[in-house]
Every structure is written in C-alpha cells, then in structure tokens.
Structure 1
Amino acid sequence: MNAIGKWCFLFVWLPSLLQIPVAKSQAADSAVAESPVRESGDAATPNIIYINADDLGVMDVGFNSDRYHTPNIDRLRAEGMLFTNAYAPAANCAPSRACVMSGQYGPRHGVYTVGSSERGKSRDRKLIPTHNTIHLANDDVTLPAVLQDAGYQTIHLGKWHLGPDPTQQGFHVNIGGDTSGSPSGGGYFSPFKSGPMKRFSDQYPAKTHRVDIFADQAIRFMRANQTKPFFMHMAYYSVHTGIEPVPGLVEKYQDKENVHAAYASMVEKMDQGIGKILDELDSLNLTDETFVLFCSDNGGVRALSDQTPYRSGKGSYFEGGIREPLVVRWPGKITPGSTSDVPVIGVDFFPTFLDVAGVKSPSAQQLDGVSLMPLLTQTGDLAERALYWHFPVYLQSYARERDDSHDPLFRTRPGSAMRLGKWKLHEYFEDGRLELYDLEADIGERRNLADRYPEKTAQLHTMIKRWRQETVAPVPTQLNPDYMAADTGGKQKTKNRKTEKASR
C-alpha cells in the first residue's frame, strides 16, 4: 500500500475499529483498506460466528451428560440443529484446525500432528514416520481470507496454532493467537508474562480469565461492526491443559462422582463466555442474521474426561478421539431442536460457511468437504460418502492405563481410517493390520469383524487406498534401525538391549 492509501485507511476505517486493539501488520492493514463493505441488512451476507472449543469431548456438554453445566451450549442446541455423527478431521489440535481452515484433508496440507512426527521413543517406533508440516503456509487459501475478500470483517480470538500471526492468514484482527497450542505466557488468568496476550495485562484486573477477555473483545468488535457482515473465529484455549480450577465454579463439582472438578469448572467458564456473545447478539438485534456453529477440535483427553460409550480419546482414531459435539443455529433457517444423524466432518465447514455467505469456492484450492446447508435447512440430503482420516506418524501415550488404545506406548501408530455408512475401517501401516467395526452394533469398537466380513473389508480397503492415491497421501514403509522388537514374553531382545546401552 502506498502512502496515500495508508492515510485513507487511517481516516476512513480506523474510527470504527478504535475499540479493538488491532494487530500491527501491513498485510492486515492492506486487507482492511481494500475490502468492499456490504451491509449486514442484506440477507445474502449474514454474520458468521465459528466457536471452536479445545479438547472438549463429545460427552463433555450438558445435552450429552449430567456431569457438566453448559446452559448456553445447551441453548444453541435447543435453538438449532444437533449433529449426532459429527467428526473432527483429525484427532489432535493443529491438524484438525488446519483441515477446517483450508477445507482440505491432511495429506493436501501435510499438517498431521503437533510438532515433530517422531513422538515417543525411537526404539518403540517400527517405521520412520512421515515428516510433519507444523503450520499452514501463508500462501494456502484459508477460510477467513476468502470471506475477507468477499467483504467480511474478520476477527480471530484465542488459539490459532497454524502460524505466528493470524493476520497473515486472513484475519483483520487477532486477539491472542500465535503458534502456541496451550495457554502459554501465564496460563488462563491475567497477568500474562509473554505472547500476544501480554498486551492485555494492563487493560484488565489481575486474575481475569482469558474467556472473559475474549468475550469483552468480541463484544467490542461486534459493536464496532454491527452494520457490516463479520466472521468471528472464537477459538477458545479452554479446555486444553494445563488445567486451572475456576474459583466460584469448581466448588460445585468437587463432590460429584467421576468428575474432574477443575476440568468441569473450565468447561462451565467457557460456556459463560459463549453466553455473553449470544446475549450481545440479542442486544444488538443481530441474532436472526447471524449463523453460529459450535464444535470442538478433537475428542476429550481420557485422563480428564470419560467419553464412554466411545473408545479412547484425544489422539486416537477410535470414536472417542474424533467424535465432536456439533450444533448450528441460524434463526429462520434452521428448525429449533432439530437433529441430523448424517455423518459429517470438519472439512465440511469451509464450503458450508461459503454457502451461508453466498460466496463461490476458491478456484485455486480444491475443497474436500461439502456444504451442510441441505441438512441444516432440511431441504435435501447428502449423497452417501466416505469420511477419511490419515495419520502417517506416531503419537505417544500420556495416560497409559486410561487411553484405551491398542498398546501402552502410543495413542495411535501410523495408519488410516475411514467411515462409510455404519462401517468403520482402520488400517495400520506397521503390520498391515485391518480392523472393521459395525458402529451401529458396536459403537465402542471392540469386535473386529474383518475376518467375518472379508468382502466388505476388501471393498473399504480398496476405497481407502484409492483415496490415498487421489490425495497423494504418504505411507511410511522404511524400517527404523533404532526399533527394538519385543519377544513373546514382552521383554526386549538381548541384542537390542546391548545396542541401547552402548548408544547412551
């Protein structure tokens, strides 16, 4: 932008954004200055609020369990549509978010896990895992960038985890987002020692919770942009570890059986923040023209929450690791209290949001999902399709006795999974093992039917191999020279023990 353009930005746009601490980024300035304005009164340009909880299990909301108090999430469920077969596109944080923001399955962007793909001890990994891409590239087409180009004011609040600065990836405003996957820089309560939240330490009293700061900043943004269409990404750090009890809330859960009291207080605190946003929409008379989607990024952490009847939790491609709570509200378009049992997945959000906004899909990037609008408006069905997951890396176990995975060392080992109708197939690359489950009869994935139904197993295996070819999904095959295979007694072979000792 030239000097004249910058002065135009200051005089024309800055007054409406003075209440918001805008990230200082030339890319962000340019995007704001050049975005055309479309009035929110135009029915074709509703506001969009995408609320993404962190590590919240499908069973960790009030409408699915009496262990948690979430009246505002329950309100969304009562006033909108609940998806009972909703899936995260990955079983942990960054890859799930990368899939949603790009509209693509993991093999297309290469974000498979958090950090290194070599998780766990090398001696326990039979294969050399695929290299992991840590962040989305700045030239990847993202959902907020497409909406920004269409005239939306865009704000990110909370956890980003896909790069150092969300304003370089489609947002005008960034509140608290960077590369961090957990609430770094001081935890959940102010003051904050470092990172993008540090600037708020002097603006809010000590011991102010992140949820309250995000709610306040979101409200300021909505007030400043109530005459323009906006896209809000409210990406809570809650309820990611480290767990910090919320005073005034934790006490009610301390005597509850089978409830982690501090965790439950964090769930309720997040729900309170959601309530503040919903109440502000009411106050601004924006409720009817605002599309709200609430979900989580992956399954719950088994050490903190119980996902029964689903097996395992975060990091696993059993149902407990990828099932998510998903509710959508849009008054006048979505029937209150409605339900859809159709399997859907996070890569569907990108085309759905574009459909809501009346924006065409980007020609420069293939989207793997489909719009959910026919289901939401109950005007049509989706053709039966397969949902896919790909994880060519390792993810170690943290709670070996509670993870409920195949072995005590890893929540999952390299492999792929898919669902088609009632059938779920797992493939593991270390030994080629196939597991087939009938989710209607065995939602806990305990009875492997691969030998009983060889034709169905072969059909799904062919489909998943074809999908990997289409998405150029890497399959690790190279053996790890550090691997120490166990004998039948569970002890390491003597030769390998000597090798390990010599290498210390």
Structure 2
Amino acid sequence: MKPIFLLLFLPLLLSCGEENKPNIILINVDDLGWRDVGFMGSDYYETPNLDKLAAQGMVFYYAYAAAANCAPSRASLMSGMNTPKHRVYTVGSSERGEAKTRRIIPTPNQEFLADSIYTLAEMLWDNGYTNGTFGKWHINEDPLQHGFHVNVGGSQRGNPGSGGYFSPYKIDFIEAGAEGEYLTDRLTDEAIAFLNQNRKEPFFLYLPFYSVHTPIMGKKNLIEKFKDKPGTEGQERADYAAMVASVDENVGRLMTAVDEWGLAEKTLVIFTSDNGGIRDISHQTPLRAGKGSYYEGGIRVPLVIRWPGKINAGTTSYVPVTHMDFYPTIKNIIKGKDREASETLDGIDLSPLFAQQEMDERSLYWHFPIYLEAYNPKEDGGRDPLFRTRPGSVIRKGKWKLHHYFEDDGYELYDLQQDPGETQNLINTHPEVGDQLKTALHAWRRQVDAPVPNEPNPLYEDEFHRKLLNELVVN
C-alpha cells in the first residue's frame, strides 16, 4: 500500500509534471519552397503572419527535409529515422519515368511506415499528450494507427484531387462543408477547435496542410489580389501566391488563438515544409532545382521555431538541421520515455541552439535508390532533363556537399558557401575533400544497411536514351 501522504499529493505531483510539458504545434506545409515566404527573402509572396512568427522565434537558414518528396520526408519526420531504416523512398513505385532510360533496377519502395515503428505521436501519447492531426498524412491509411487520437483529412492520399481544394472534398476522414469552403480554412478551423478542447492539458497539434501541393487552386479574391502584382523571374504565379497567402492567413489565425488563450509560453511551435518547392511553379534562386531533386532546391526548406521564454525573439541559426531532429528535440524537452532504444533516432536534440549554444559539426545524409521522373525537363534543373533525380546518395558536412550517383558511379562536389546554386563541380579540383566525404558516405551506408542498386535494367535502350536527350537539348 502506498503511504497516505503520497496518495494525497500524487495528483498534485502529476499536475506539476504535466505543466512542465509544453504543448507542441507542428505546421508542415506541402511543397512550400525555401524562398516562398517573406522572411526568407521573397518579394512577391505576401506572408505577414509568417514573417511575424519568424520575428518571434528562431529562423533556421540551413534547414533540410530528410527527403526530396512527400512520403519519405513525412516518414522520416514522424519516425526520426533516415530512409534506409524505414524504407519509404518515394510515392508509389520506385520505377518512375520511361523504362528505356533507366540504366539500373531501383530498390523496391515501401509505401507505408511500418506499424512496428514507434512514431513521434506514439511517444507523445505514452507521455500524456492528446494528439490531433489535421490534413495530409500520406504514410499509411489512417494516422490513428500511428499514435493520434483525432484525425481530420489524413489518409494515404497525397493531394486533394482535381478541384479538391473546395468543398465538397475528395479526401478521406472529413465531412463536406458549405459549398465553396476552402480546404486550408477548414483544416485550420478543425485545428483551432481541437486546441480549444484540449488546451488545459498537454497536446500535440500536427497541421500538415495539403497546400501548396498541386492542383494549384487559390481563392478567387486572393488570385485577383496578385494578378497585377509584378513578379520576379520564377516567382510570378498569382494562383500559387494565393495559396501561399491562404496558408499565411491560417497560420495567423492559429497563432492568434494560441496567444489569446494564454498558451504562447506553454507552446513550442514549429513551422516548416515537407520538401522543396516545385521549380516549374516557383524558383528558389539561388538554389538549384526543386522538389524531387537532391540539389539544394529540393531539400532545403523554411523553418521557424517559436517558444517564448525559451527561444529569444528575432534569433537565427546557420547550423544545418533536419526534420529528423524534431523527434529527439521534443523527446528531450518533455523528458519523454519510450519503448524503443533512443539510438534508433537519426536526428539530434536541437535545444542547445535555442539558447544559442555551439554544437559539434556533424554530417547530414540522404539516400534515394530510386528514380523520379521530370516535371518539366526545361525547368527542373536536375542532373539531366529526364529525371529530377536518379539513384544515389548525398552527404553534407560543413560547407561541402557530395553527390554520388549509382548508374555511372559519378560524383559531384560543391562548396555551398561559395556556390549555393551547385553550379561548379569541384570533384577534380579538390580530390582530398572528395575522398574524405566518399569515405564517410560509404561508411554511413554500411552502418545503416542502405541498399545500393547495381543490377542492369534489361529494358534500358542506350540509343533510345541518347536520342531522347538530344531531342530535349535541341528543343
């Protein structure tokens, strides 16, 4: 039998423990480019609420998604693991693009996050949090199977479908609203209602907007607002600007609710994007390429973290960080216990950066043993015009970034400090740096058992491939 005084004080002790756990709000916009917001330098898109959020917290200028497209990025964010561990490498088949132009057989893709993986949401559930997700999930059929109590709009679907940004909706787990209701508005309404219902106890609010993913559909009044606004090269689409403006407006609504209910200092807010923007829609100059590519434009993303009292307003960080860092950071902040060994997590705790402390330099890795076909061969900016990426791996350490492509065993080395656009391959002029990064990359692949495909594709036709490339170059 427990002592009577302990029984009397146990509720108070538990309450004090709960009060020390911050609420977590994680806003994950779909396909929002690194420079598609005002606080990252865009002059065309208007994001006053996001700019305000950035001014209230810390902006990370070298933030990276763990993968260059939706499903693997989300799987890594939610698991805290790099792609070789969960084996979600892409959306659908890894055999994307014209078969006659693929030299090797890519690694098979696992479409969903395995049930055995202990997710960020499950860890928070087991540590007393109420969890709600509102929007795109994309890594299994129902997020309730991976640690959420409430789900609105999330399933295996990766986009809202043709015409799907306006009610009646075509996604799962959501009821139709009034005719013409806008999906981004509705998801925010649901998120605010969840916040209101759960604001007295620790909550995890995951808001993965479907915006700004295709189909590009903005509200008419916002499209009209941007129709005559002068753009800059690569950032000039009024319909896309309208979608960005809607995201901004709704993040502002959510932050207003947090502040008005007195939750600001009790709430850690993370704002980011799941991967780089689609270059055919919006350029991320000076970064090269876009979604689906492992050049900087495909994996560099906007990131703001706000936590009043813990993070000074108006601070910045130039330390390279990744979405895989969210899980260990949150786990450390809440002193969370889980049912899995912490070494399965591939990220690190970022909280020292919140206090502007120095951290040891580390390497970041990406692995993509698959193909992703081009969006627009003339716009994508990839290694060749047929694919946004071909099978390979990447390492970034310090200012250096090394690409390794498996088809031709090709290497590309870039100095991101001098050449953020990855235009000058230095593999031949800096062989000692290249060799160091090659050694590190190969060692990491062995450590995580990353598959390196090398079996020739019997459907590949060299003459067809060369002819197609030549036609694209000529045209």
TM-score range (shorter-chain normalised) is over 0.9
Partners of 2:267 and 2:49 in 1: how far apart? 16
Partners of 1:420 and 1:467 in 2: how far apart? 13
Does the CA-based 8 Å contact 1:39-1:45 persist in structure 2?
A: no
Query: Hey, what does 2:88 align to over in structure 1?
Result: 111
Query: Hey, what does 1:312 align to over in structure 2?
Result: 289
Kindly provide the CA deviation profile for residues 118-172 of structure 1, in whole angstroms up to 9, marking residues without a partner as x.
0001101000000000010122110000000100000011000000000000000
Query: Hey, what does 2:352 align to over in structure 1?
Result: 374
Does the CA-based 8 Å contact 1:184-1:195 persist in structure 2?
A: no
Q: Secondary structure at the match of 1:248?
A: helix
1:146 aligned onto 2:127: no
**Structure 2 counterparts to residues 32-71 of structure 1, below 5 A:** 39=15, 42-63=18-39, 64-71=41-48
Partners of 1:111 and 1:481 in 2: how far apart? 25
**Structure 2 counterparts to residues 210-289 of structure 1, below 5 A:** 210-255=183-228, 256-258=230-232, 259-289=236-266
Aligned partner of 2:365: which letter?
Answer: Y
Partners of 1:52 and 1:118 in 2: how far apart? 27
Partners of 1:362 and 1:433 in 2: how far apart? 41
Residue 192 of structure 1 deviates from its aligned partner by 2.0
Structure 2-normalised TM-score?
A: 0.92
Does the CA-based 8 Å contact 1:185-1:192 persist in structure 2?
A: no
Aligned partner of 2:75: which letter?
Answer: A
Does the CA-based 8 Å contact 1:38-1:151 persist in structure 2?
A: no
Stretch deviating more after TM superposition (369-378 or 186-195): 186-195
Query: Hey, what does 1:11 align to over in structure 2?
Result: none
Residue 488 of structure 1 deviates from its aligned partner by 10
Partners of 1:383 and 1:491 in 2: how far apart? 47
Does the CA-based 8 Å contact 1:40-1:47 persist in structure 2?
A: no
Does the CA-based 8 Å contact 2:163-2:215 persist in structure 1?
A: no
Kindly provide the CA deviation profile for residues 451-491 of structure 1, in whole angstroms up to 9, marking residues without a partner as x.
11111101100100000001100000000011011489747
**Structure 2 counterparts to residues 62-141 of structure 1, below 5 A:** 62-63=38-39, 64-141=41-118
Query: Hey, what does 1:166 align to over in structure 2?
Result: 143
Q: Secondary structure at the match of 1:249?
A: helix
Residue 418 of structure 1 deviates from its aligned partner by 0.8
Query: Hey, what does 1:296 align to over in structure 2?
Result: 273
Q: Secondary structure at the match of 2:280?
A: coil
Q: 1:488 to 1:442 in 2, by over 3 A?
A: same
Partners of 2:371 and 2:325 in 1: how far apart? 26
Does the CA-based 8 Å contact 2:273-2:302 persist in structure 1?
A: yes
Aligned partner of 2:35: which letter?
Answer: M
> Any runs of at least 4 consecutive aligned residues in structure 1 with deviations exceeding 3 A, and if so which?
37-43, 486-493
Kindly provide the CA deviation profile for residues 354-376 of structure 1, in whole angstroms up to 9, marking residues without a partner as x.
12222135534610000100001
Q: Secondary structure at the match of 2:418?
A: coil
Residue 282 of structure 1 deviates from its aligned partner by 1.4
Identity %: 50
Q: 1:352 aligns with which of 329, 340, 349?
A: 329
Does the CA-based 8 Å contact 1:40-1:46 persist in structure 2?
A: no
Structure 1-normalised TM-score?
A: 0.87
Query: Hey, what does 1:205 align to over in structure 2?
Result: 178
Query: Hey, what does 1:342 align to over in structure 2?
Result: 319
Aligned partner of 1:113: which letter?
Answer: T
Partners of 1:413 and 1:42 in 2: how far apart? 47
**Which structure 1 segments of 5+ residues have no match?**
1-36, 494-504
Query: Hey, what does 1:431 align to over in structure 2?
Result: 408
Partners of 2:410 and 2:243 in 1: how far apart? 39
Partners of 2:99 and 2:118 in 1: how far apart? 35
- CA-based RMSD of the aligned residues comes to 1.8
